[in-house]
Amino acid sequence: MEHGALAELGAALGAAGCLLALLAYDRKPTLAGLVALAAGEAALGLALLGSSTIERLASPLGAVAAAFGLLTVAAGAFLLSRKPALVAPLALVAAPLRPPLDFGPDHPLLVAVARDGRIGRLLPLYLLLACAALAFAWRLTRGGEAPPLPRPLARPLAVFTALVCLSLFWAADPEAAANHLAFFTIPFATLLCIVGRTPAARSLPKTAAIVAVAATGVFAAIGIWQFATHRLFFYAPNLALSNANTDLFRVTSLFGDPSLYGRHLVLGLCVLLTAVACARLSALRALPLVALLWVGLLFSFSQTSMVSLLVGTLVIAVLLGGRRLRLAAAAIALAAVLVASSYAAFQVANGESVDRVSSDRLGRLERTLDAAAERPLVGVGIASQPRVSKRLAHSDRPTASFASHTAPAAVLAELGVVGLALFIAACAGVWRTLRRLRLRHEPLAIGVASCLVALFVHSLGYSNLIEDPLTWLLVAIPCSWLALPDREARRRERELRRRPTVVGGRL
């Protein structure tokens, strides 16, 4: 079978798996969906590896490596089958980590340490997912329950992920589409299924908050050290050139880009501010941690991260404050928009180009919308927008220079108006799920809401929303908590459904 046909088979299996795993009520269809996702991932992996790499894997050394990998996965699955609630906090730890490893047939053992400041794939998360998927499947075969995902969320999200998989069939860049499905869509749909359909431990909110703040504290400390020493671990070539030729020295911590580093610190700050606002942590104890994360964020010099932090903070104020605080939050947001707009207009009036003032964001958006006009209904295929935009621009610049930095525009270009409508419906489903969660655990609902809104705002200037595992994990955690039995909360939900006006203005 040709590699293109293998990729298409993987996409079809992935689409079926997404529908079954996210929509099923019973354990047998859920198990079938999990098997379909695993088979789709395997087919896509074989299509991407190439025949020479597969032959290397079939060698005695490759067989030894495969056996070691299987033993590792089996051991991890045994642990997670006994403690399934560990998956969510472990995923929080693993999600940001990208060991600097490069894979390819040119390396003697198919793997080598990456050079030139590059970082690798989400290997710790993929290993955790393999263990968790095996443990989840074992639990289902032994009669374990898999509570369904909330319907308002599951329906649009299942169809959206299925459309992402099927878009490989008409993708303008089939290789990039296959990579996206293999490294993002199928693994993250699996993550949502496993975490979202596993009842959470009662300690999850506290554990998740501690893990998030501890991890981002480490990232911030490393970033501050990098600013003091002017030494980076990971970086893109353009960042190295920029740092060498400007007065600003932007740090990346354990990430390859200052904006990605800043994004994670914003999430940690949102968690801390929520804990203080909900009286789960005293302001005095939170102050040193907030100061650490804020200084670390400052040295990223990421404007997108600063804006997303402002919006995330306003979300907390609006959801927890009274009328006066909400008006103050609206005034602050309006003032920030006016100041930013006035500054941009001043720069343009003094001879700066619009593209330069917007750091090429407007130019990228325009080229993305040009690609969207190619196939308005279903788009040019997932991960194909950069290649289409480059072709339409008749440019010799690298394809990566045409990547959209606005997530909704990228969805429109790659999946068309159908995909954008499903994306909006999925966002509405997330919001309805958080409203239910607030009845059961208000701090968790507020914290997740502020983080998700901050992620979305960040994706308006840096994309990477559906490609970020934290997006999917933040959606899965509320589902996991709602899977817990809570008769009192269900009674309150029934009352609110009978009296919908009671929740006016609430999350």
**Per-residue model confidence as pLDDT tens digits over 243-265:** 777 778 899 999 988 999 999 99
Q: Which pLDDT value is given to residue 4?
A: 84
In a shared domain, residues 125 and 264:
no
Residue 36 placed within a domain: yes
> Tokens standing for 58?
């079939």
* Backbone angles phi and psi of 200, in degrees to 5: -75, 155
How many separate domains does the chain show? 2
Q: Which pLDDT value is given to residue 467?
A: 94
Residue 252 placed within a domain: yes
User: Burial level of 282, CB count in 10 A (0-12/13-18/19+)?
Assistant: exposed
In a shared domain, residues 189 and 222:
no
365 vs 271: CA distance, rounded Å: 31
* DSSP 3-state percent helix, strand, coil across the chain (nearest 5): 75, 0, 25
Contact 470, 140 (CB under 8 A): no
38 vs 41: CA distance, rounded Å: 5
Residue reference for tokens 């298409």: 8
186 vs 13: CA distance, rounded Å: 10
Helical ranges in 230-360 per DSSP H: 237-245, 258-277, 283-298, 303-320, 323-349, 354-357
Residue 67 placed within a domain: yes
The residue that leads in pLDDT, 434 or 362, is 434
Q: Which pLDDT value is given to residue 264?
A: 96
Give the pLDDT band (50/70/90) at residue 501. very low
196 vs 219: CA distance, rounded Å: 27
Residue 341 placed within a domain: no
Q: What is the DSSP string of 18-63?
A: HHHHHH-SSHHHHHHHHHHHHHHHHHHHHHHH-HHHHHHHTSHHHH
In a shared domain, residues 14 and 44:
yes
Give the pLDDT band (50/70/90) at residue 343. very low
In a shared domain, residues 107 and 249:
no
In a shared domain, residues 138 and 59:
yes
Q: What percent of the chain has pLDDT over 90?
A: 63
Residue 456 placed within a domain: yes
Residue 164 placed within a domain: yes
Q: Which pLDDT value is given to residue 246?
A: 75
In a shared domain, residues 112 and 236:
no
Give the pLDDT band (50/70/90) at residue 21. very high
- Sequence-ordered list of residues with C-beta below 8 angstroms from that of 2, at least 6 positions apart, any chain: none
Residue finishing a domain among 239, 273, 301: 301
**Mean pLDDT across the chain:** 86
Residue 264 placed within a domain: yes
Give the pLDDT band (50/70/90) at residue 377. very high
Contact 266, 258 (CB under 8 A): no
Contact 454, 267 (CB under 8 A): yes
In a shared domain, residues 158 and 224:
no
Q: Is the pLDDT of residue 404 over 60?
A: yes
The residue that leads in pLDDT, 53 or 457, is 457
Give the pLDDT band (50/70/90) at residue 22. very high
In a shared domain, residues 189 and 47:
yes
In a shared domain, residues 148 and 265:
no
Residue finishing a domain among 280, 301, 322: 301
109 vs 242: CA distance, rounded Å: 35
In a shared domain, residues 11 and 134:
yes
Handedness of CA 267, 268, 273, 275 (dihedral sign): positive
Q: Mean pLDDT, to the nearest integer, of 226-248?
A: 82
Q: Mean pLDDT, to the nearest integer, of 404-412?
A: 92
**Residue-range definition of the domain harbouring residue 26:** 3-198+418-503
Residue 171 placed within a domain: yes
* Backbone angles phi and psi of 506, in degrees to 5: -90, 165
In a shared domain, residues 186 and 246:
no
In a shared domain, residues 26 and 153:
yes
How many separate helices (H) and strands (E) can be counted in the chain?
Answer: 22, 2
Residue finishing a domain among 253, 270, 301: 301
